[in-house]
Amino acid sequence: MRESTSLKKWVEAGYELFAYEGPNDIRVERLARILDLNKSSFYHYFGNIDYFYKQVVALHAERSTWYIADIQKCSDFDPDFLNVMVQHKMFILAHMQLVLNRHIPLFFETFQELSLKIDQSILPLWSTFIGIPNQPKLALQYFQQVRDMFFSRITVNTLEYPFLHTLAFDAKDIVLKMSNERIA
């Protein structure tokens, strides 16, 4: 029992560092200090950093199910979904790290796999919010562009409701302006 508790501590601490600082700042010695554990136990559990990353990514995948479950409870994009993002701040930041470090195949593949599921759960809320509920393919393409821009702009400090609200309404305004230009 104690062994699995220590293993879980390593993975959870690694996940938090990954979310807030990225994979380059995950160092065995640093994690050992944070956890007050012997770094040899890291090698006992994981063998190497690559296997450790697989465990961190597995935890992220597990947390994606919680995130998706909370999204499915939302009745609207703003404020419900935006507040879910804030509640799942660490998950969002970890997902951003997958994007920022997509040159690492494990991270790129995980982002792609999880984003398919996440995007589909957000799509009904998003398409209604931007005013094109009957055009899911177009809404999804636009959402993915906004999401990618979002990942390039967020930080630990900006991942709060006011920032998300402003970003969402900026994206919605673009759709409205494009619709008005087509009509005129």
Alpha-carbon distance of 175 to 56, in angstroms, equals: 37
Tell the residue number behind the tokens 């040159």, with chain if given. Answer: 103
Residue 1 clears pLDDT 50, i.e. is over it: no
pLDDT interval class at 181 (50, 70, 90):
low
100-131 confidence digits (pLDDT tens): 999 999 999 999 999 999 999 999 999 999 99
Residue 183 clears pLDDT 90, i.e. is over it: no
Element (H, E) at 34: helix 28-35
Which of 113, 118, 123, 73 lies closest to 91, judged by CA?
118
pLDDT interval class at 6 (50, 70, 90):
confident
31-48 confidence digits (pLDDT tens): 999 999 999 999 999 999
Q: Token pair for residue 118?
A: 């996440």
CATH superfamily of the 2-183 domain:
Tetracycline Repressor, domain 2 (1.10.357.10)
Single pTM value for the model: 0.91
Residue 179 clears pLDDT 80, i.e. is over it: no
The domains of the chain are located at 2-183
Q: What angle do CA 11, 115, 112 make, to 5 degrees?
A: 80
Alpha-carbon distance of 155 to 170, in angstroms, equals: 18
